[in-house]
Amino acid sequence: MNNNLSERPIGVFDSGLGGLTVLKALRENFPHENFIYLGDTARIPYGTKSPRTISKYLEQNVNFLKTKNVKAVVVACNSASSVVHAITSDIPIYNVIEPGARAAARATQNNLIGIIATRATVAGRNYVTRLEEINPEFKIYQQACPLLVPLVEEGWDDDPITNLIIYRYLSPLMAVKIDTLIMGCTHYPILKEAIRKVVGPNVELIDSGASVSEKIESDFQKNILAPNHSGLTGDISFMITDTSESFQAQAQRIMAPMPVKKLELVDVF
């Protein structure tokens, strides 16, 4: 086990594939960091579950990653980020909602912001609360999109049926003329091309990977988190909590051109 604080890995978790969009951004921005990715495939989806259940998963995943000696945990899941206040920790825990809300607040010009997310994230209203704190003038429109996570897990990101479903979910937001759309679920950037087709070129799309990378960069600068100074290309380990026939191939597609090495099957509870 590596006790040099800066060289310890950063843990990143999600219920499944979605958090890989965050991992990919983190890897591109911080190539020297070591990462451990945990996909809680045994318990996906999170977004249909209650805050009580998601809090339990969050705690178990964080505790598991701590056993791997991580120096920080990125909760690469909006549904779990919605309940992140429920845990205390001796290492930094990064949620994706706070940085996403700040990025959207900076991006909007007409103060009309849309949020698409899981049912759990929409019910938690964390984006809404944070955005209203930043600027009470914002008009915020949330839309739960429960069908999108299964479509992504199924690999249907380029499919006419998915396009139609996205059109149906996004039409009410387009009707009120939002100029900024928070992709408030880490699975959704995998559907970015399909979403772009519906919203057109003028709506700013906010995704969790870019936003949380900015927050970590700022914490590296402030010495809140120690960056890895080894100069070596970091290592990424992939772990899942249940066997999945398709995870490796799908993960490879999302992470390309980065290789996805062998997946390790782990128990987190």
Active site residues: 77, 185
Minimum distance from CB of 48 to ligand DGL (Å)? Answer: 6
- Kindly calculate the radius of gyration of the chain based on its CA atoms and give it in whole angstroms: 18
Hey, what are 36's tokens?
């451990």
* Whether the Cβ atoms of residue 186 and residue 152 lie closer than 8 Å to each other: no
Stretch that binds ligand DGL, among 41-49, 125-133, 135-143, 158-166 (CB under 6 A): 41-49
CB of 96 to ligand DGL, least distance (A): 7
For 190, the 3-state DSSP assignment is helix
Q: Does 103 engage in binding with ligand DGL (CB under 6 A)?
A: no
Say whether residue 79 binds ligand DGL (CB under 6 A): yes
Question: Among residues 11 and 18, whose Cβ is nearest to ligand DGL?
Answer: 18
What are the residues whose beta carbons fall under 8 Å from the beta carbon of 224, sequence distance 6 or more?
92
Cβ contacts of 227 within 8 Å, gap of 6 or more: 6, 30, 32, 33, 220
How far is it, in rounded angstroms, from Cα 201 to Cα 224? 37
Is residue 118 at the binding interface for ligand DGL, with CB under 6 A as the rule?
Answer: yes
Q: SS3 breakdown of the chain: % helix, strand, coil, rounded to 5?
A: 45, 15, 40
Residue 171's contacts (CB-CB under 8 Å, 6 or more residues apart) are none
Helix (H) or strand (E) holding 115: strand 112-117
Task: Determine if 124 is a binding residue for ligand DGL (CB under 6 A).
Answer: no
Among the listed residues 78, 162, 211, 213, the single contact to ligand DGL using CB under 6 A: 78
Distance CA 226, CA 146 (A): 37
> Binding ligand DGL by CB under 6 A: which of 34, 41, 61, 121?
121
Q: Which stretch binds ligand DGL (CB under 6 A): 26-34, 45-53, 55-63, 127-135?
A: 45-53
Measured from each CB, the residue nearest to ligand DGL is 47
- The answer to whether 244 contacts ligand DGL (rule: CB under 6 A) is no
Amino acid letter, 179 = D
Q: According to CB under 6 A, which one of 83, 101, 185, 251 is a site residue for ligand DGL? A: 185
Q: Which of 65, 77, 210, 255 binds ligand DGL (CB under 6 A)?
A: 77
Q: Is 47 in the site for ligand DGL (CB under 6 A)?
A: yes
Residues at the contact surface with ligand DGL, assessed by CB under 6 A: 14-15, 18, 44-47, 77-79, 118, 121, 149, 185-187
